[in-house]
Amino acid sequence: MKALLLKNGRILDPATGDLADADIRVEGGKIAAMGSVLPRSGSEVIDLGGRLVLPGLIDLHVHLREPGFEWKETIATGTRAAARGGFTTVACMPNTRPVADSPEVIRRIRETADREGSVRVLPIGAITRGERGRELTDMAALKEAGAVAVSDDGVGVHDSRVMRDAMRMAASLGLPLVAHCEDDSLAAGGSVHDGDFAARHGLKGIPGEAESVHVARDILLAEATGVHYHVCHISDANSVRLVREAKRRGLKVTAEVTPHHLLLCEEDIPGPDPDYKMNPPLRSRRDRAALIEGLKDGTIDVIATDHAPHTPEEKGVGMDRAPFGIVGLETAFPLLYTHLVLTGELSLGRLADLLTRRPARLFGLPWGGLTVGSDADLTVIDLEEERIIDPEAFLSKGRNTPFAGWRVKGWPVLTLVAGRAVWDGLGLEPR
């Protein structure tokens, strides 16, 4: 494979937020050199024209739907969407059919990803068999097959004894336990946040306590077991407060937040539109403010998309009956850059850290930085490119997004995984 020279990039170090004008030389899938002016000899050259260069983005929470729901998404289409969004590594949730609760399914996902995927795929195994919340999976076997964490995402684990035993097992294996926090006795039958929008449209609401009571219980269990406890798609102000307090006490408790919970609240829902239906739901303005504050003070560790594709037919049955979830891989960076960085809520370095170095550290992954000798996973972003979000142009099979028609800046234009171009929006076709 011929060497590749990326010239005239602006390289951002997510650890410090520092920007430096530099070239990057890629050989054999690795970063061979970085410097202000590298020689062109023996290299295929791409002039980046001052565009931003980041370590490849990492998403710890996506739904690739395969096996079992290939009409919604496949590993091939989902990872193409990830590459277009600048992601080089994604962790996929186990609520497939069959559920990823056995080593066979974990290996099947990995083999399909190796064969058909555009980016790295890290499977997450289930906590309980069939995600039914009763019998623990063989977590050691799941880890041996390649699972990087365990989760029953999509449903909460209701039995406290089962959750405690799961945490003990995960802790003994060094696996993060990634929790979907939802108490069915409070949430069942709800489709939106239990607030003004629900009351105005006659919909059953899901209160914030449906999430935070599980977070509170789980933090106590995490303290008792010593597990790395990670809260999925945190949405409620009380949950943020609980995680903040747990961190102050030195517990290994972490949390993620989605772009849609950061940018939208229930007041932004224009009407009973299922593309605004996600779980957890868009909450109050106060909750949204608490999430942003949690990002700023380090309570919330990473941003994850919770990319959840559904077909138009599935979504087109009304807000009370449609499935939960929206897509997010292809729009995450420009949405966050436009509405958090350009508005002054976050620095560009902080946003990059939340999408690269921090998720890598959270799961103990060897990516998330740009250093000589590391895998050449990198994302080039044109911060000046401004476009309107058009779901019909998505590479994902899913079109379900509340952000259709939004004008945003900062689009990924080149994504490399181990030196291989998996998204080339520059039209340069370097390989």
Give the tens place of pLDDT for each residue, 136-158.
999 999 999 999 999 999 999 99
- Rounded to an integer, the average pLDDT of 14-22 is 95
Q: Tell me if 324 is assigned to a ligand binding site.
A: yes
Look up residue 242 and give its amino acid: L
**Per-residue pLDDT tens over the stretch 117-133:** 999 999 999 999 999 99
Per residue in 248-283, pLDDT (tens digit) is 999 999 999 999 999 999 999 999 999 999 999 999
CB 129 within 8 A of CB 135: yes
**Choice between 42 and 151, residue whose per-residue pLDDT is larger:** 151
423: helix, coil or strand? Answer: strand
* Residue 207: φ, ψ to 5°: -75, 155
Does 378 belong to an annotated binding site? no
339 is in an annotated binding site: no
**pLDDT, tens digit (0-9, with 9 covering 90-100), for 50-74:** 999 999 999 999 999 999 999 999 9
**Shortest CA distance to 95 belongs to which of 119, 115, 117, 73?**
73
Tell me: is residue 146 an annotated ligand-binding position. no
- CA dist 225 and 169 (Å) reads 9
Q: Is the pLDDT of residue 230 over 70?
A: yes
Tokens 């932004």 sit on residue: 268
User: So what's the pLDDT on residue 428?
Assistant: 63
Question: Is position 63 annotated in a ligand binding site?
Answer: yes
Give the number of other CB atoms < 10 A from CB of residue 390: 11
Provide CB contacts within 8 A for 188, sequence distance 6+. Answer: none
Please state, for a pLDDT cut of 90, what percent of the chain lies above it: 96
Residue 430: the pLDDT is 43
CB burial of residue 317 (10 Å; 0-12, 13-18, 19+):
exposed
CATH 3.40.50.300 fits 56-363, yes or no: no
Q: In terms of C-beta distances under 8 Å and separation of at least 24 residues, what long-range contacts does 167-172 make, across chains too?
A: 167/218, 167/221, 167/222, 167/224, 167/225, 167/227, 167/229, 168/225, 168/227, 169/136, 169/139, 170/127, 170/139, 170/227, 170/228, 171/225, 171/226, 171/227, 171/228
Pairing of strands 3-12, 43-47: parallel
Residue intervals in the chain for CATH 2.30.40.10: 3-53+374-424
∠ CA 154-303-408 to the nearest 5 degrees? Answer: 110
Mean pLDDT of the chain: 97
Neighbours of 332 (CB within 10 A): 26
> Residue 429 pLDDT > 80, yes or no?
no
Residues of the chain with CATH 3.20.20.140: 56-363
Marked catalytic residue, from 13, 306, 375, 424: 306
Q: Does residue 431 register a pLDDT over 50?
A: no
pLDDT exceeds 60 at position 17: yes
What percentage of the chain exceeds 70 in pLDDT? 99
Helix (H) or strand (E) holding 199: helix 196-201
Report CA torsion sign: 284, 285, 290, 295.
positive
Cα(387)–Cα(353) distance, integer angstroms: 24
Q: Give tens-digit pLDDT for 287-343.
A: 999 999 999 999 999 999 999 999 999 999 999 999 999 999 999 999 999 999 999
**Is 353 one of the catalytic residues?**
no
CATH topology of domain 3-53+374-424: Urease, subunit C; domain 1 (2.30.40)
Lookup: tokens for 287:
């909750």
261 annotated as a binding-site residue: no
61 labeled part of a ligand binding site: yes
Residue 380 CA to residue 388 CA, distance in Å, equals 19
For range 104-114, the mean pLDDT: 98
* C-alpha span between 355 and 133 (Å, rounded): 31
CA separation for the pair 169, 143 (Å, rounded): 12
Is 306 annotated to bind ligand?
yes
User: Contact, 139 vs 150, CB < 8 A?
Assistant: yes
End-to-end CA separation in angstroms for the chain: 9
- pLDDT value, residue 37: 87
Alpha-carbon separation of residue 240 from 177, 182, 221, 266 (angstroms): 18, 15, 17, 18
Is residue 47 pLDDT above 90, yes or no? yes
What's the distance, CA 182 to chain centroid?
19
Q: What mean pLDDT is predicted for residues 196-223?
A: 97
Q: Is 340 annotated as a binding residue?
A: no
Give how far Cα 85 sits from Cα of 345, 346, 356, 367, 418, Å.
22, 20, 13, 17, 17
User: What does DSSP say about strands 407-417 and 378-388: parallel, antiparallel, or unpaired?
Assistant: antiparallel
DSSP symbol at 7: E
DSSP at 146 = T
Is 64 labelled as part of a ligand binding site?
yes
Q: Is the pTM of this model over 0.95?
A: yes
Residues for the chain: how many in total? Answer: 431
> Does pLDDT of 29 surpass 70?
yes
Residue with tokens 């979907």: 180
